[in-house]
Amino acid sequence: MSPVPPGGTIGILGGGQLGRMTALAAGRLGYRCHVLAPEAESPAAEVSAAFTRAAWDDEAALDRFAGAVDVVTLEFENVPVAAVERIARQRPVRPGAAVLAVTQDRVAEKSFVNRAGVGTAAWRPVASAADLGRAREALGGSCILKTCRMGYDGKGQVMVRPGDDPMARWAGLRTDAAIAEAVVDFALEMSVITARGVDGALASYPPVENRHEHHILRRTIAPAPIAAGAAAEAVRIAETLATELAVVGLLGVEMFLARDGAVLVNELAPRPHNSGHWTMDACAVGQFEQLVRAVCGLPLGDPAPFSAAVMDNLLGDEADRWPELLAEPGARLHLYGKREARPGRKMGHVNRLGPR
Ligand code: AMP
């Protein structure tokens, strides 16, 4: 497949900050971007050459969009598979519908990971309160119940403890398909972002530690303070999964380092990942440029960091601290241009280089 050279147009499905930073990286390499998203306000569209505001099931709009771009990628992994399949009749979508079908559904995702020989928390599919009661027993008396689809930042998940009524817990989740997972006793949470090119070449950023607050990523520490053996295992896992899934683009792999030393996969994201924002300032080629290179069929860049880094998300009105962050030596500020600073909303991030 011939590459899409600089000067071409990259279509981006989804209009959020991940698309914005992709478009900025693409622009630096001489590409134009065209965003397709259902929302009127789009941080990605504001820095792109073109914007199609359309619902995911607006077939005429999908067809026009496909006709106007050279290659398509995505910044939102819950784009309906039918929309991706429709666009893919005209233009390559990277990563494609087969990848999304796996990563949009927690049962499909965990089944895939285990089939690839990689460990996860023990889990059971749950479709009723009775299933949940049985799963809780099998998983050690407590479990975490998660909706199969559309969960993020802790939405669509509840802890089920020994005394809890499975009926009430199941009803509270308001779904017909869920997964129950054993509670992992972890030393830390970490992630690896792996890029995979059209030719199958791989390039991985080193594992980083992720600290969450109220289920939202608060801080990423790069590199993760873990033994070399665990770091190598985390990279091996991410590269195995990217290869088995045949991702073209990026795969973010969220993992637990269990207290017993096991590396267990929690979740996959086939797109740029919040835990990779540090790479924008601390690596020769950051994750957004790497995505552009992968989907356009260019050689992948060097992911090696030239510095340690700490990334802090700016949530809600924390972004109002921009004057002091701009004044801080060594701090690199990134703002997403969102107008409304709702509590917990990701408004920007700050990278600080060097070990902390
Ligand atoms: P998720 O939506 O699956 O990424 O989960 C959000 C957060 O909940 C994770 O980052 C963990 O902090 C926590 N969590 C999720 N699943 C488990 C598990 N099986 N054991 C322990 N903690 C978990």
Mean per-residue pLDDT of the chain: 96
Dump strand ranges (E) for 22-94: 32-37, 50-53, 71-74
Residue 42 has pLDDT above 80, yes or no: yes
Residues forming beta bridges with residue 123, ordered by sequence position: 181
In the chain, % of residues over pLDDT 90? 92
Q: Is 356 helix (H, G, I), strand (E, B) or coil?
A: coil
- Nearest atom, ligand 1, residue 106 CA: 3
Residue 265 has pLDDT above 80, yes or no: yes
- How many whole angstroms from 146 Cα to the centroid of ligand 1? 9
Question: Which protein residue has the closest C-alpha to ligand 1 atom 2?
Answer: 154
Q: What is the pLDDT of residue 213?
A: 95
Q: What is the pLDDT of residue 143?
A: 96
pLDDT digits (tens, 9 = 90+) for 119-142: 999 999 999 999 999 999 999 999
The pTM is what?
A: 0.97
Q: What is the pLDDT of residue 91?
A: 98
Q: What is the pLDDT of residue 348?
A: 98
Q: What is the pLDDT of residue 354?
A: 86
The type of residue at 138 is A
Residues 6+ apart with CB under 8 A from 271: 18, 73, 74, 75, 76, 77, 95, 249, 250, 252, 291
Q: What is the pLDDT of residue 154?
A: 67
pLDDT digits (tens, 9 = 90+) for 180-223: 999 999 999 999 999 999 999 999 999 999 999 999 999 999 99
- Nearest atom, ligand 1, residue 181 CA: 19
Query: Contact 265/254 with Cβ under 8 angstroms?
Result: yes
Angle at 17 between CA 72 and CA 288, to 5 degrees: 55
Under the banding of pLDDT at 50, 70 and 90, the label for residue 300 is very high
Residue 155 has pLDDT above 80, yes or no: no
In the chain, % of residues over pLDDT 70? 98
With tokens 């995911």, the residue in question is: 56
Please provide the size of the chain in residues: 356
Q: What is the pLDDT of residue 338?
A: 97
- Nearest atom, ligand 1, residue 151 CA: 2
Task: Give the whole-angstrom CA distance, residue 146 versus residue 198.
Answer: 33
Under the banding of pLDDT at 50, 70 and 90, the label for residue 356 is low
Question: Which protein residue has the closest C-alpha to ligand 1 atom 11?
Answer: 215
Q: What is the pLDDT of residue 150?
A: 84
| Residues having CB within 6 Å of any atom of ligand 1 | 121, 144, 146, 151, 154, 157, 181, 183-184, 189, 212, 215, 254, 266-267
Residue 153 has pLDDT above 70, yes or no: no
Q: What is the pLDDT of residue 166?
A: 86
Q: What is the pLDDT of residue 175?
A: 87
- How many whole angstroms from 211 Cα to the centroid of ligand 1? 11
